[in-house]
A and B are shown apart, each in its own frame.
Chain A
Amino acid sequence: MLTAGQCGPGFAPHGREAADDEDPAMSDAIAVTDLTKTFGDVRALDRLNLTVRTGEVHGFLGPNGAGKSTTIRVLLGLLRKDSGHAVVLGGDPWKDAVALHRRLAYVPGDVNLWPNLSGGEAIDLFGALRGGLDERRREELIERFKLDPTRKCRTYSKGNRQKVALIAAFASDVELYLLDEPTSGLDPLMDAVFRDCIHQAKREGKTVLLSSHILSEVEALADRISIIRDGRTVESGTLAQLRHLTRTSISVETARPITGLDALPGVHDLHLDGTRARFQVDSEHMDTVHRHLAELGVRALTSTPPTLEELFMRHYDAPPRPKPRPAETGDPR
């Protein structure tokens, strides 16, 4: 979990203005400004901005079709950008593709493997094509992810195919991991193993770009987050900064009848029924509300953190709020 301490005053938004050509800072593993990509008359990326600093885990959030995979494919040189700037590990992702790919590992969102190769063969193949992998680490990861490497890839479920790609990626000694919704097919136990891998990568000073639409996953892992929608960056910053804009749903049952909730700041949509209550609370006022409830003797409490969907809803459905946003938006206007 992130704490407010991690986003001190030193935080500088990396919007378009900050990361202009003059300073593609050496500390940034990925620096993307005004990236645009169209397919026919569909504008998949529309002046997208993204800055990933070396050594951080960066959550890349957005609903399906927002342009996450397209962005990553441009960063891999699989697609050619129409305009804008993109720098990966100090190089041009299109021209320097092969040299850059020795230093990064990619896990696609939809892992396609060769049906007649075994899982073990596919892992070794990806490792070798990337420039070799750590045998000991390979064995350890196969063990931890509980993958049967002798099965043919055609018999693997989606989750098992993702395991193959994840093992091949984490067994390689690289500086940057580009992970495109890597856990969408994993069960919770494997999800935990995946999180351990990310933590370890972070300890070793590696950079991770983690694309996802599961806020809780990003919440648990990411140092900073970029949210995109319709090919544009709509929010960028630490989670605490983004959470600030959202509400948590709470359902509570107390020993004594609930009073005084409606008077607290930040409480919305209150449904009160004697000793039970359902309401939403602005994340910044959570502490006050908790303390108030504690006085009443909490019997049961369910707190649902804001989902990505709610974050989007709030961002797009709510009328524009006058108060200034803590995080710089990527909106280039």
Chain B
Amino acid sequence: MNEPPAPDEPAVTSARPKTPEGGVRRENAAGDDLLPAAETNTSAARPEEPTSDGRVDGRALGSGRGLPAGRVEKPVGEGVRHEGDPVGVKGRHEKARSLTGGGGRHESTRGAAGMFAGTGRLVRLALRRDRVQLPVWLLALTGVVAASASSIQGLYQTEQERLAYAMSNAGSAVSRVFNGAVADPSVGSITATETYGFTAVLVALMSIMAVVRHTRQNEETGRAELVGAAVVGRYAMLTAALVVAVLANAVLALLMAGTLVAIGLPAAGSAGFGLALGGAGIAFAGVAAVTAQLSESARGANGLAGAVLGLAFLVRGIGDMLGEPTPDGTSVTSLWPSWLSPVGWGQQLHPYAGGRWWVLALYPVFFAALVWTAYRLTDHRDVGTGMMPVRRGPAVAPRTLLSPLGLAWRLQRGVLLGWSVGVAIMAVTMGALGREAEELLATSDELKEYFAQIGGGGADMVDAYFAAFMGIFGIVIAGYTVQALLRIRAEETGPLEAVLATAVSRPRWMLSHITCAMLGTVALLLLLGLGTALSHGMASGDFSQTLELLGAALAQAPAALVLAGLVVLTLGALPRWAVALSWTALVACLLISQLGPLLELPQPVMNVSPFSHVPYLPVADPAATPLVALLAVAAALTGLGIGAFRRRDLAL
């Protein structure tokens, strides 16, 4: 604990009965032992009130800790001074021992099993808490891979198409950075190349969040303290979280392998692919087990593990990018950095091209090493604390914070920054690939057709490629809009009560968050257009399309704002449903615009998505009317939402 306990945590409590809430405080677990003991006494005997000079009769108060029967001076505001035996100091030492090394020694007399006592129950509790979340993750991941795998089978039917894919992968450094190097020109290997990297990242995220949810988040919320007070060993919570993560990844491996075999891919390769995905998940469960010990907050633990994941993806990207092409030009041998990354291992496994099966052994070894480290770290820290220092903030607020808009910006800027980095990377990649679009699309007639359909059906493949991607990324960026606006709901269940009790009106407060979210959306679209245009210009040496591409990106803004308006309306009218409804609306837009043209959905259904009304720039001619209409709808929805919010009870 950073705070010296002595002045804040007196050994003597008042004669007054403590409230139930006062009894359990997070600080007590870490450092101070005196308050709970003294409280027991106050409830046992309720002595007279303190006299006017603040003196309290110590007899009834300190007895539980062996406090001498004499009087304890308690001058108001001057801290607590003990007379006689310094019980406070001694008691604190005892407690410190029992919380760190001492507890282990104590339990070891009953055998190491005591450290894991209660693990089974905690596993059941965790599975119960995750009974919706984990199945959704597993099914969604399997579904995405199954959909990609079957579409790849359709796209690369002939030997020639597969060979063309392999050559273009071997020839394109950018494609290798993102997908890895293809092992050979088989459908299985193409499927693995196209799906493994991104799926492994998602599986890793699932595992990281599961482990942190059942370890550090429990500690942060104080639940761990409640659980730890029961017959539960010190390793039980971490062990339970890891058991759940391993179970989830085992199920995932089975589901993946089974689904891919059902689609028609070779059984051995599919088993290897599934195991490699589960392996990546387990590896990052191990990473999260360590970061959950290091950081004091769940956010920090997730962020740290996420950073390791990002690094792992990047390292293998570098290795694959700098790899050496084989003499026939259909595959690439990755450089050593690819072997440093758990994500890279799955790609180097080459499950559908013979298979280097020994690679699968890397996962359990990696996992075991991290888990061992995590257990060692739990031995050396107290419940609720971390290993990293907590950063401090300013004692006085900067002027820029002191308004509803300043507060909203402060709360939103982190999310926007994260999205900016992601969008910039996407945009630059997309632009760099533009020149190769013709070549890439030429590898498959079906792919060409698909792009022509979702890209507005122009003759110029490069333009169709850009139009298609602007459409997709417009909706992806609307994901930021939804996320940023839903902060309004998070605030409502948190500090909003206290904010609206100040001289801030509801519309002003809500508009400040809406302003941040909407301007952030436009900024991200601007970044998308600019990044794409500049990187395309540099790759092709021709900057003539800069303004066109910028316009194509910004044309998505009115549609994103309509979605924003819808989110505001749900926040105003149906606050408890806002989160579910908003994300559903976003997914519906994505499905309609991506699958609609392929499934030849009827126009009225297509029209439900605001993104269907955005002109296919740069293929089509820019048209102002639909954009103005979309803006009007967005403004109307937003107004309705604010009005509804103004008239209702706070849904705390």
* In-complex Cβ contact of B403 among A73, A128, A185, A307 (8 A): A128
Query: Is B502 a contact partner of A302 (Cβ separation < 8 A)?
Result: no
- In the complex, A213→B49 CA distance in Å? 17
A165 to B495, CA, bound (A): 11
Collect the chain A residues with CB atoms within 8 Å of residue B54's CB: 192
The docked-state distance in angstroms from the alpha carbon of A151 to that of B502 is 23
A38–B109 CA distance with the chains assembled, in angstroms: 57
Instruction: Tell me whether B403 and A112 are in contact (CB under 8 A).
Output: no
Contacts A79-B650, A155-B296; is A121 near B397 (CB within 8 Å)?
yes
Contact B17 A188 (CB under 8 A): no
C-alpha gap A131/B403 in the complex (Å): 10
A153 CA to B47 CA, complexed, in Å: 36
Q: Are B502's CB and A118's CB within 8 A? A: no
CB interface residues, B 71-110, toward A, < 8 Å: 76-77, 79-80
A34 vs B330: C-alpha distance in the bound complex, in angstroms?
83
Report the minimal beta-carbon distance from B89 to chain A, rounded to whole angstroms: 19
Is residue A23 within 8 Å, beta carbon to beta carbon, of the partner chain?
Answer: no
Is B45 positioned at the interface, with any CB of A under 8 Å from its CB? yes
Cα distance, A112 to B500, chains bound together (Å): 13
Mark interface residues in A176-194 (1 if CB within 8 Å of B CB, else 0): 0010010111111111110
Residues on B with C-beta less than 8 A from A91 are none
Once the chains bind, are B394 and A185 in contact (CB under 8 Å)? no
Given contacts A117-B410, A152-B390, A188-B14, contact A78 B650 (CB under 8 A): yes
Write the nearest CB–CB distance from B411 to chain A, whole angstroms.
7
Asked whether B650 lies within 8 Å of A125 as measured between CB atoms, the reply is: no
Quick check: is B230 within 8 A (CB to CB) of the other chain? no
Expressed in whole angstroms, the Cα–Cα distance for A332 and B407 within the complex equals 45
Q: Pick the residue among B46, B47, B397 that contacts A125 (CB under 8 A).
A: B397
Instruction: Assess the B46–A120 pair: CB atoms within 8 A.
Output: no
Q: Which residues in chain A, 136-176, are within 8 Å of chain B measured between CB atoms?
A: 144, 146, 148-152, 154-155, 157-159, 165
Q: A303 near B48 (CB under 8 angstroms)?
A: yes
Q: Is chain A's interface secondary structure helix, strand, loop, or mixed overall?
A: mixed
| The residue from A104, A115, A193 contacting B77, defined by CB atoms under 8 A apart | A193
Chain A count of residues within 8 A CB distance of the other chain: 69
**Residue among A111, A186, A192, A213 with max Cβ neighbours from chain B (10 Å):** A192
B413 CB → nearest A CB, Å: 10
Which of these binds chain A: B1-9, B151-159, B584-592?
A: B1-9
CB under 8 Å from chain A, chain B span 58-73: 60
Q: Digitize A114-131: 1 where CB-to-B-CB distance is under 8 Å, 0 elsewhere.
A: 111110111111101111
Flag whether A2 is at the interface (Cβ < 8 A): no
Nearest opposing residue in chain A for B494, CB measure: A112
Chain A residues numbered 1-18 whose CB sits less than 8 Å from any CB in chain B? none
Closest chain A residue to B38, Cβ basis: A188
Residues B26 and A131 in contact, CB atoms below 8 Å apart: no
Contact present for B21 and A150 (CB under 8 Å): no
The answer to whether A152 touches B17 (Cβ under 8 A) is no
Given contacts A151-B392, A157-B25, contact A126 B401 (CB under 8 A): no
Give the chain A neighbours of B79 by CB distance below 8 A: 189
Find out whether the CB atom of A302 lies under 8 angstroms from the CB atom of B45: yes
Taking a contact as CB atoms under 8 Å apart, the answer to whether B649 and A79 are in contact is: yes
Which of A116, A120, A130, A186 contacts B394 (CB under 8 A)?
Answer: A120
Complex Cα spacing A191 to B35, Å: 14
* B497 in contact (CB, < 8 A): yes
B57: nearest residue on chain A (CB-CB)? A302
B393 nearest CB neighbor, chain A only: A118
A115-B297, A124-B402, A302-B45 known; A148-B19 Cβ under 8 A: no
Taking CB atoms, residues of chain A closer than 8 Å to B396 are 120-121, 124, 149
Chain B CB within 8 A of A304 CB: yes
> Can you name the residue of chain A whose Cβ is closest to the Cβ of B649?
A79
Shortest C-beta distance, B512 to chain A (Å), equals 11
- A120 to B505, alpha carbons, bound, how many Å? 23
Cβ contact within 8 Å between A192 and B407 = no
Cα(A123)–Cα(B393), bound, Å: 13
B residues near A149, Cβ cutoff 8 Å: 395-396
What B residues does A185 contact at CB under 8 A? 21-22, 25
Residues of B within 8 A of A150 (CB): 392-395
Q: How far is the CB of B233 from chain A (nearest CB, A)?
A: 26
Which listed residue, B45, B407, B497, B503, touches A98 by the CB 8 Å rule? B503
The 24 sampled A-B contact pairs (Cβ below 8 Å) are A78-B501, A102-B503, A104-B501, A106-B498, A111-B498, A114-B411, A120-B393, A120-B394, A120-B396, A121-B397, A123-B397, A129-B403, A129-B502, A131-B502, A150-B392, A152-B391, A157-B27, A184-B22, A185-B22, A188-B10, A192-B76, A192-B77, A214-B16, A304-B46
- Chain A interface (Cβ < 8 Å from any Cβ of B): 73, 76-80, 97-99, 101-102, 104-106, 108, 111-118, 120-126, 128-131, 144, 146, 148-152, 154-155, 157-159, 165, 178, 181, 183-193, 213-214, 216-217, 302-305, 307
Query: Which chain B residues have a beta carbon within 8 Å of chain A's beta carbons?
Result: 2-3, 7-10, 12-14, 16-17, 19, 21-22, 25-27, 35, 45-49, 54, 60, 76-77, 79-80, 220, 296-297, 299, 390-397, 401-404, 407, 410-411, 414, 494-495, 497-505, 647-650
12 further A-B pairs in the complex, CB-CB below 8 A; given A128-B402, A188-B10: A98-B505, A112-B497, A114-B410, A114-B495, A121-B394, A144-B77, A155-B390, A157-B25, A158-B26, A165-B498, A178-B501, A187-B13
